[in-house]
A and B are shown apart, each in its own frame.
Chain A
Amino acid sequence: MNDNLTRLFTLDGTGQLLGLPFVQSALVAAALLGLVAGVLAPLIVARGMAFAVHGTAELAFTGGAAALLIGISVSVGAVVGAVAAGLVFGLLGLRQRERDSVIGVVLAFGLGLGVLMISLYDGRAANKFGLLTGSIVSVDSTNLWVLTAVVVVVLAVLAVVYRPLLFASTDPDVALARGVPTRLLSPLFAVLIALTTAIAVPIVGAVIVLAVTVIPGAAAARVTANPLTATLLAVAFAELALLGGTVLSLAPGLPISGYVATIAFLCYVGCRLVGRARGQVRVG
């Protein structure tokens, strides 16, 4: 028990590990993912899409498992699964109740299929487990280029559609009346989420994608109503969680999931406490 605790928080050798090329690749991957996840997070929260992101991540897992089974690139499988899920969820628009149940249906089916395919796969066990928890230390230069390309594409699209997307996400009725093509933006945004998710799943795992695309936005919304400040804060929280989690996981040699999720969670709790303290001051 005590040994386990010591192992969780050890920093023995972290210094030397940080000098290794594969660790540096991992840190670059974490930073890139933190940037794009942080930018998307406030919009995901404003649109009430946390569950949709969860569904998308699980479908990326299903796609990855299918790819593993038929022997093609896991990344390709993850992209196909996530984009297909994203399009379905995006076309459902903002009608909360219907979306909720459809995501539940698709997610359950996809997860079931994924587990079945993982069980049928008789290759390396690390490959199976990696889809859920990721293996950030296995990031190679190809992964990095793909990740960079996705980040550039997502940020470029956001640069064009950000303002109407913010309008449609926070004030859908008036946005529609003002001529914002809300029907077009929903699936487009879902595809942006899907691309980010799909690339991130093999690297950091399905669990972490959810932790860094939703928690930073939810945390920021507790302490500011300024959309720009919220975005900057969310990026900061996502980077803190991903980079901090990667560094802390090095010496123990454990998956980063627990570390990243814990840091993100602490950011959220901290923001809630700050928000509550301020709220009491304001109400008097």
Chain B
Amino acid sequence: MTTVAPRGAREETATAVTLRGASLRFGERTLWEGLDLDVSPGEFLAILGPNGSGKTTLLRVLLGLQPLHAGSVLVEGTTPARGSRAIGYIPQQKAMPEDLTLRASDLVGLGLDGHRPGVGLRHRAERREKVRAALESVGATRYASAPVGRLSGGEQQRLRVAQALVGDPSVLLCDEPLLSLDLAHQRVVTELIEQRRREAGTAVLFVTHEINPVLPLVDRVLYLVDGRFRIGTPDEVMTSDALSELYRTEVDVLRVRNRLVVVGAEAPHP
């Protein structure tokens, strides 16, 4: 067969992300060690844990910005390199200056080719079409030429999804993308990410400290606490026993109307 399969429609045996015996240390402090993880195409992995447990650092490893102390890491079968086309990245919402000279369409366009040298005069028609399609897919066409600094946090995060997806990635790394959004916008952004996963089989690694907004979508959870970790389905990991063992203190997980409430897992002081 020589047909070109769209991304995500590849064989089930291929993994999007593979970590083997991965360890990361900063000086004396071990963030995590002996981490074995396989994330399949189309899988939704939530990465949870208190502040300073190395959630964001794990994303930095996958982005090729942070070398491992020991072990190996593969993204789409290759060692992560800066600027990999295979990866889309969604950051948390941050205020942008009101007079920043950047329109919504520019922000998305930079996600496509902002890392390439030059001034961007070549392939303009093709680029414009890709940006247009990405803006449309997140329902941001209406404010395509609005200054990004004047958009609401929810509108900005829609753009972030478009910016991450415009390069057609097979792995989507999300670093607290729902933080500081209201519930309605949390739902919109979550649905956009879920839609991409369903339609293109994109693997999603979703760093969050609040699992409830994504709980129905999560296939597995990676829970990091103070150098220890646990991987499994939400039903396996989000239990009083599992979390008490991770935190080494009494933690209770309560289920209230399809929401999980974790009691007693305050962040240990670093």
- Point out residues on A near B: beta carbons under 8 Å: 42, 45-46, 158-164, 166-167, 170-171, 173-181, 220-222, 224-227, 230, 275
Contact = CB atoms under 8 A, between A and B. Distances in A.
Nearest to B64: A179
Contacts of A221: 99-101
B114 A177 contact: no
B103 interface: yes
A160 B89 contact: no
Interface of B: 63-65, 81-84, 89, 91, 94, 99-103, 106-107, 110-111, 113-120, 145-149, 160, 163, 173
A85 B166 CA distance: 39
B119 A225 contact: no
A45 B100 CA distance: 9
B17 to A, nearest CB: 15
Nearest to B114: A167
B97 to A, nearest CB: 8
A275 B99 CA distance: 10
A227 B102 contact: yes
Contact of B101 (A159, A162, A170, A179): A170
Q: Which of B84, B91, B106 has the most CB of A within 10 A?
A: B106
3 residue pairs, one from A and one from B, having the closest CB atoms: A179-B83, A179-B82, A167-B114
A225 B101 contact: yes
Contacts of B163: 174
B61 to A, nearest CB: 12
B63 A177 contact: yes
Contacts of B118: 159-160, 162-163
A181 B117 CA distance: 11
Contact of B119 (A162, A181, A222, A275): A162
A179 to B, nearest CB: 2
A163 B94 contact: no
A224 B115 contact: no
